[in-house]
Amino acid sequence: MTELETVQHRIETRIAQVCGHLNVLHAELVALTAESLTTQAWCGQGIISAAQWVAWQTGVSPERAQQIVQIAQRASELPVTYTAFSDGLLSIDQIAVVAKRAPALNDREACDLALNATVAQLRVGLSKHFFPPTPDPAVDRRAG
């Protein structure tokens, strides 16, 4: 192994470790957000949404705060994916795409894809083309 390859390997290994820690900490933030949703601890004078409260408490953008709230709301519907996230295997960007696009019944498949795809690939892979929306039983009854 050349000196450059050794340096690259060291840096890449350390990046993977740091990202794993960040993923675990993001999962903890999502868990705290879920608790605030359950207990309504986010409610307060002048606060109009849980996402606004998350943005205020964390300093993240309103878009990221909305993603955190959406992940918290879907965590129990996506146990396989959420476990991978809390174990540090998925980033907040990856789970945000899954929480936004994956039906609960495809949790395992969505997690498998997330573990092996970039965020851009995940957006395409979880599009309606691959995971069509679950049919609405009310619409089916009217059609029949």
User: Among 134, 97, 129, which Cα is nearest to 115's?
Assistant: 97
Report which DSSP code applies to 134: P
Q: What is the pTM of this model?
A: 0.86
pLDDT for position 38: 97
pLDDT at 45: 86
What pLDDT sits at residue 88? 97
28: which 2 tokens?
A: 């903890």
**Percent of the chain scored above 70 by pLDDT?**
88
- Identify the pLDDT of residue 144: 47
- Give me the pLDDT at residue 132, please: 59
123 neighbors 101 (Cβ within 8 angstroms): yes
Whole-number percent of the chain with pLDDT over 90: 85
